[in-house]
Structure 1
């Protein structure tokens, strides 16, 4: 089970007006108000350069904000970093490893650097962490001989040396093959089921949809939206789909009634109803029938998280940060 602070805050990560401006005036993060609820698997999304990694580094006290505030586990950062960070595991921008040491020796050294760890049980903790990420068989191999995916696994193992209230993971499946990605996602679900809150930065939308309960979308340093994953997708306008042997006439009628982005593919006509004063769908169907359009099917398809992302940012989602 994940450990927790005495006060049991319902919000595990909270930022208020968090801002980072680098030398030269570059505004990387602009007045960010982020709320991560306890027990969630929280996906952090955004195009390249949106400010995700800068935000994560501020959360962990690696860089100082220009202004604003950050709290982890109900405690202000970085003021109470000494009390907070023992309860937080992190994998940020890839693990820093000693290439001349084995995987097991790397973890033992990391564990020894934690003043709260118990030396007598170190070997057991290290072996358990290696097993959880699938590296038990490679424990004695030098880290410099590890593949990128193995290094990612070892970094995650370091974050799991002790029970954590919060895990902050930056691209945790980077470099993994499909089987490895499935294993890490299953591990994330297992950790979440045990009560650990997980903050997950990823450029893989299927990863977010498969494992995350909540998400936030960043663009150009600003927060566009946050909330339950299902609500983010539902919040984007759905797509109207009409199947008919009269696609040309159907497209004309739909356009007259404000449907835009119309495409015709064989008998299938698709488009997006207007966001402002959208027509009643029953009336729209009736208008098609009155115009002699033979309607075989008429429906609104729900949007995917990818469609919601594009609608919010105007960008595709082949991104990393």
Structure 2
């Protein structure tokens, strides 16, 4: 594959992707103790008055795996596009790696790997040649190590065996893997991933989760947008929740999950009788699913042993009784007042 042949073809398929390449001859970004991402009052209003992001104050600690959560239309992707300099904010400020964006894009982007809204690929090229072309477009990349770095990136995302296959024949999950490989062609201080497990099977999702952990252990800060709350809870150290363009909460994932009230769970072949007795004792939020009954966790003043005794005394055959800890999903629903939809 030659550059001339590639340039004669149409633009790559896909919506938007940033892979760390930037025009010009950027100066190196100096390491600081500041957060890797920080926004203050970041706002984006589109024509017609649509307010997509409203006064966002976001802080992403260095070295974290940061989950960015929100229901459909919450402003997550718009925020990411502003952080990467793809669109300008209406007002407010954004700093990435301690430098203002989009003004410092030429300095910052070579230190950032990103996969945004799906990978942009040349369908007529195979996987390896797509990565070679991405690397040639990066003025800071060393051509002497290009092929070795491409092979390493393909292996890391599990595409080494399919690297000779044309990208247009790739499945959605394979395209996601190739886009992630493009973001990993060089060591990055920051990796920004928008729905990286989109289209992947459960095994592929586990592999990406493991890769994210490896990258974090190597010192890369990972900013991860996802609609899969379970994935965020398993892999992320910190998270932020967006709703209707505004930041609802941010902080360590363990703290966010712990802030959610747990649920009292009872497994019994007598769910109707159990629900009646719990309701008589003032419990709310009762829900049944077969032989499993759940309710809002009782106040601290209520003795769980007394509740259990009341159930048994009422003839309920109790197979399981206990309070389950709150999850990130519980916290999300409590904070936003809505279920979790696909990413927006």
Q: Structure 1 length normalisation: TM-score?
A: 0.88
**Structure 1 residues 294 and 243, CA gap change in structure 2 (3 angstroms):** farther
Out of 301, 309, 313, the residue aligned to residue 332 of structure 2 is 309
Contact persistence 2:69–2:239 (CA under 8 A): yes
Contact persistence 1:9–1:73 (CA under 8 A): no
Q: Structure 2 length normalisation: TM-score?
A: 0.83
**Alignment pair present for 1:254 and 2:281:** yes
CA distance in 1, matches of 2:204, 2:191: 19
Moved more, 152-161 or 141-150: 141-150
CA distance in 1, matches of 2:37, 2:305: 47
Give the CA RMSD over aligned residues. Answer: 2.5
What secondary structure is seen at the aligned counterpart in 1 of 2:119?
Answer: coil
**Mapping of 1:136-151 within 5 angstroms?**
136-151=160-175
**Mapping of 1:26-37 within 5 angstroms?**
26-37=50-61
**Alignment pair present for 1:58 and 2:85:** no
Q: What's the counterpart of residue 168 of structure 1?
A: 192
Contact persistence 2:97–2:108 (CA under 8 A): yes
Contact persistence 2:190–2:220 (CA under 8 A): yes
Shift of the alpha carbon at 1:24? 0.3
**Alignment pair present for 1:281 and 2:302:** yes
**Alignment pair present for 1:183 and 2:207:** yes
Unaligned runs of 5+ in 2: 1-27
Deviations 1:169-220 (A, max 9, x none): 0011111122211111111111111110000011112211221111111111
**Mapping of 1:99-114 within 5 angstroms?**
99-114=123-138
CA distance in 2, matches of 1:18, 1:43: 18
How many residues get paired?
Answer: 311
CA distance in 2, matches of 1:290, 1:176: 47
**Structure 1 residues 45 and 264, CA gap change in structure 2 (3 angstroms):** closer
Deviations 1:77-132 (A, max 9, x none): 11111111110000001111111112111111111111111111111111111111
Shift of the alpha carbon at 1:240? 3.0
Contact persistence 1:42–1:213 (CA under 8 A): yes
Unaligned runs of 5+ in 1: none
